[in-house]
A and B are shown apart, each in its own frame.
Chain A
Amino acid sequence: MRPILMKGHERPLTFLKYNRDGDLLFSCAKDHTPTVWFADNGERLGTYRGHNGAVWTCDVSRDSMRLLTGSADQTVKLWNVQTGTQLYTFNFGSPARSVEFAIGDKLAVITTDPFMDLTSAIHVKRIAKDQTEQTEESLLVIKGPQGRINRAVWGPLNRTIISAGEDAVIRIWDSETGKLLRESDKESGHKKTITSLTKAADGSHLLTGSLDKSAKLWDTRTLTLIKTYGTERPVNAVAMSPLLDHVVLGGGQDASAVTTTDHRAGKFEAKFYDKILQEEIGGVKGHFGPINALAFNPDGKSFSSGGEDGYVRLHHFDPDYFNIKI
């Protein structure tokens, strides 16, 4: 499995996202330009110019027509995927940390960081079908959790919003009223900041990665803990194979400690675990510095990782991978 090295960003990667068809890969980095690549050969297709700060997150609509990006410049921008033109800009008083389209692409959930005297918040915006009708107005704003909310995603049927962040608690909110419905169990839950959260392809379960050196699998509806995957370093990014029962964890020590220790010390590998047995299967090395982002191609035959080193590595699995037996 020889990875394709995609050099397009000048700063650490922050987020990776495939479109539904699995032919396009969107990458976000601390440089200001999200980039789109061919998911097959890693060729750069284009960039989206307009942000004036690190881009933390993105999401692409189901029909691959529109892209939503959230940035530290306190805006969330809506783009035309094909032409790269800006369609709309949502302005906030603080950096946007995560965005996600709802089922049907008519709504989007956006989280913003605590900044100055603003607390962190979850915003729900309507995404108009007709661009000219798009408005700034939020349908719902949820406040409450302490510290940054690192990710918020939609629950089944858009009825709930699931959020996780610095306070290490996963919460389910009612997406209509903003009422808190459920919290993850403190005893069994994460002990440190949750850095990443990803949904299974069918939305049935969630995988969260945390700085407490573990990743946990949860039931989306009941928020019961199903599995825990222990690792040796802080987890920055998690992904689940849509094809096999595998999960991938990426992470490593703090970027500030990278240059002062041996490259083996941080173990900057993407680690594969069996989702059900919770056993480690293997690892994919390559990045210099921790891994910040991971994404699986929806066909389950390739995945990509984005590192603090500014590279995106695109891995197509060898045929052997599909026959792993443990």
Chain B
Amino acid sequence: MAAEVMLMNEIEATAAQMGIDLNIDFSSIQLPPGENCGIISDDEDVYHDDQLELDSGFGNVIVVDNLPVVPREKFEKLEGVIRKIYSQIGMIKEDGLWMPVDPETKKTLGYCFIEYNTPQEAELAKEKTHGYKLDRAHIFAVNMFDDFDKYMKVPDEWAPPEIKPYTPGENLQKWLADEKARDQFVIRAGTDTEVLWNDARQSKTELVYKRAYWTESFVQWSPMGTYLATVHRQGAAVWGGANTFNRLMRYAHPQVKLIDFSPGEKYLVTYSSHEPSNPRDANRVVINIFDVRTGKVMRDFKGSADEFAIGGAGGVAGVSWPVFRWGGGKEDKYFAKLGKNMISVYETETFSLIDKKSLKVENVVDFSWSPTDPIIALFVPELGGGNQPARVSLVQIPGKEELRQKNLFSISDCKMYWQSNGEYLAVKADRYTKTKKSTYTGFELFRIKERDIPIEVLELDNKNDKIIAFAWEPKGHRFAVIHGDNPRPDISFYSMRSTHNLGRVSKLATLKGKQANALFWSPGGRFIVLAGLKGFNGQLEFFNVDELETMATAEHFMATDVEWDPTGRYVATSVTSVHEMENGFNIWSFNGKLLYRILKDHFFQFLWRPRPPSFLTPEKEEEIAKNLKKYSKKYEAEDQDVSMLLSEQDREKRRMLKEEWERWVGEWRRAHEEEQFERQMLRDGEASDEEEEYEAKEVEVEEVLDVSEEVISFEE
């Protein structure tokens, strides 16, 4: 302990000497009270990292080289120029500019050191002025002081890297081989994060792993379920393993706010936004792209928030997340970012722009990738007061050739919805009416996989209806729309095929007056949950689209979230801490039977662990679907066994409880009878113990209320 104290003092003293703001808020480092809950390693890192920073401690110092060499009389002038250039970028510390002078010639040496208040400013200065031309002969070469150290340490002679013996990793996908074919999910409630099995047969959960203070803001599964990502002040981490959750890799990124995996989970994008030292400046954004397995930074992007906030809805910070959208299916080949009048498409082989330049599109405001193919759909709004129509175009990557384009007139807004197999694209277009006072909505449906990509226009029966929600059937050809202005809107189902013509859209059905505002298709298609969240207080309707019939209606009062498990067998509805009461989650069968219900105060998150796509061929899948009876027999028998066992266990448990209780009551009664006499004495001898054998007796009491005499005259 004493050693530690010593260490702290030393650090502080050193820091004071060097005039460095320690800038560590120790009180903000939260340890669970009383113990470290096994996460000591993280916190050790905190101290460790900070110490590292102090050891060199020059993260906010830059070195500017290639300055003119001047004699003493010009020294002050040169210093003035440099100070002017560099104080525009950030606050130079007092005495933070030092230009060494050769003691013999009294001339400057052609370089100087500049110390800023923060490492961010230093970095910015390096970026902005590296290559700055003072005049033809003097082009600044700016480096971080720390980098010098790093380069100095490079050994002069090359030594072959040490080859580490191969250690086989854990099977990170073991959960898929669960004997009972169950699925996992993660929940966060209070300070605890838990991964649980959904044991629907027994109507309960089974704990896989639980940890308090596992994450500092949220958790997230990778898209194929291999990793669970946690977010901390120092960066992000991923966890996984065969039987438990071990930390597999860490990604250092101070104050990371948001994370995003590439669809094939090869890369992890992390994002943070930092307050500028000058309040008038925009926040500084740092984005890192890590290789998930090696933990290496593949590419980083730094800049002001404005550069990353083009198009999109824009959150509080002005940046719409994810900034980089991944395309090209699970191969993680491309990622793209919306820029001003351009879309920057990068490829992951070199992490640079395709053809070294962005895709130029004037005024582009939105784009989205096909979920399976390297095709970008982009939207350009109307320009010049309607002289130049809005358009949607499909662009092939990496060739950048336009596959299809559609001009749209009098458009107010536009949204793009891809079907999960990338076969169809629906563009929801809000158009102005002639008077421009109101809007109505239509759909442009693209058939991507057909020759020439035919487009069909679809309008609702009542085209003035407002569209509340739209959703494609996963892997299917149908979609559902909630529309209408009533408090109880209608829901319509459409198919991209008609009975006679595979190339025509047809309406399947309209359900009138539903209390729903959100659509949740089963991942296997066919079934859909029509949910009334928020204003509808958690109405749920489980609907079979094949038969067009309602399977069940139910309510999870105040439900905020609905999520299907990745196999489409179960549905989880949850009430998160946006509400004060009723926090917790319900698990339903696909046909709307409530299986179990768990209440947890301060409930934040419920996430099913995703599954990677199936390895079965479509033919095999079809064969299984056809001969489902044959395959399901085994599982039905298992189900029955489990339910038999369960009821047996249940009976046994109840019998035990009853017996225990009887025993306890018997014991009590003996003691109670022993005391009978004393109790009687307390009551002045009244025999009083038949109080337990109370018996209601009906007693008839006749009460004379009034007697009156009346003389009745007797007449004959």
Contacts and interface: CB of A to CB of B under 8 A. Distances in A.
Nearest to B689: A202
Contact of A104 (B557, B558, B683): B683
A226 interface: yes
Given A232-B599, A276-B657, A261 B671 contact: no
A202 B599 contact: no
A299 B691 contact: no
A203 B688 CA distance: 13
A157 interface: yes
Nearest to B691: A201
Interface stretch (B24-32, B282-290, B419-427, B661-669): B661-669
Interface string B651-664: 00010011001001
B696 A299 contact: yes
A281 interface: no
Contact of A242 (B658, B682, B694): B694
Contact of B683 (A103, A203, A277, A299): A103
Given A157-B678, A204-B665, A261-B581, A22 B696 contact: yes
Nearest to B558: A265
Interface in A254-270: 261-262, 264-266
A103 B682 contact: yes
Nearest to B581: A265
A161 B135 CA distance: 95
B582 interface: yes
Given A226-B664, A233-B581, A104 B654 contact: no
B464 to A, nearest CB: 32
Chain B, interface size category, equals 20 to 34
A22 B697 CA distance: 12
Interface string A59-73: 000100000000000
Contacts of A226: 664
B162 interface: no
Interface in A183-225: 201-205, 219, 221
A40 B692 CA distance: 21
B450 interface: no
A298 interface: yes
Interface in A222-240: 226, 232-233
B672 interface: yes
A276 B661 contact: yes
A204 B683 contact: no
Contacts of A262: 537, 557
A158 interface: yes
A264 B557 contact: yes
B658 A276 contact: yes
A156 interface: yes
Interface in B233-286: none
A262 B581 CA distance: 11
Q: Is the interface of A mostly helix, strand, loop or mixed?
A: loop
A253 interface: yes
Given A157-B678, A276-B658, A202 B672 contact: yes
B666 to A, nearest CB: 11
A234 to B, nearest CB: 10
Contacts of B664: 219, 226
B444 to A, nearest CB: 41
A242 B675 CA distance: 21
A179 B50 CA distance: 56
B679 interface: yes
Contact of A277 (B654, B671, B684, B692): B654
A53 to B, nearest CB: 32
A112 to B, nearest CB: 25
Contacts of B692: 201-202, 242
Interface in A302-321: none
A60 to B, nearest CB: 15
Contacts of B682: 102-104, 106, 157-158
A298 B557 contact: no
A219 B667 CA distance: 11
B582 A103 contact: no
A123 B694 CA distance: 31
A59 B537 CA distance: 43
A103 B679 contact: yes
Given A204-B668, A299-B696, A232 B582 contact: yes
A229 B262 CA distance: 47
Given A262-B537, A265-B581, A298-B694, A277 B675 contact: no
B575 to A, nearest CB: 10
Contacts of B675: 156-157
Contacts of A221: 671
Contacts of A219: 664, 668
B582 A265 contact: yes
A299 B691 CA distance: 10
Contacts of A233: 581
A222 to B, nearest CB: 10
A299 B698 CA distance: 13
Given A22-B696, A157-B678, A104 B599 contact: no
A242 B693 CA distance: 10
A138 to B, nearest CB: 20
A51 to B, nearest CB: 29
Given A202-B692, A277-B654, A266 B581 contact: yes
B124 to A, nearest CB: 49
Most buried by B among A106, A204, A219: A204
A85 B678 CA distance: 33
A149 to B, nearest CB: 24
Contacts of B557: 262, 264-265
Contacts of B694: 22, 201, 242, 298-299
Contacts of B671: 221
A80 B692 CA distance: 27
B679 A157 contact: yes
A40 to B, nearest CB: 11
Contacts of B599: 232
Interface in B536-579: 537, 557-558
Contacts of A204: 665, 668-669, 672
Most buried by A among B537, B661, B668: B668
Contacts of B661: 245, 276
A233 B580 CA distance: 11
Nearest to B583: A232
A103 B694 CA distance: 17
Most buried by A among B581, B683, B691: B581
Contacts of A103: 679, 682-683
A156 B672 CA distance: 8
A276 B692 CA distance: 19
A294 B582 CA distance: 24
Contacts of B654: 277
A272 to B, nearest CB: 17
A277 B678 contact: no
Contact of B581 (A62, A253, A277): A253
Most buried by A among B679, B684, B691, B694: B694
Contacts of B558: 265
A104 to B, nearest CB: 4
Contacts of A106: 682
B587 to A, nearest CB: 17
A262 B672 CA distance: 48
Nearest to B695: A299
Nearest to B658: A276
A216 to B, nearest CB: 15
Given A232-B582, A265-B582, A298-B694, 20 more contacts: A20-B691, A102-B682, A103-B679, A103-B682, A104-B683, A106-B682, A157-B675, A157-B678, A158-B682, A202-B691, A204-B668, A205-B668, A219-B664, A219-B668, A264-B537, A264-B557, A265-B558, A265-B581, A277-B654, A301-B696
10 contacts: A22-B696, A102-B682, A157-B678, A202-B668, A232-B582, A253-B581, A261-B581, A265-B557, A265-B558, A301-B696
Closest 9 CB pairs of A and B: A104-B682, A204-B668, A276-B661, A104-B683, A103-B682, A299-B696, A202-B692, A265-B581, A276-B657
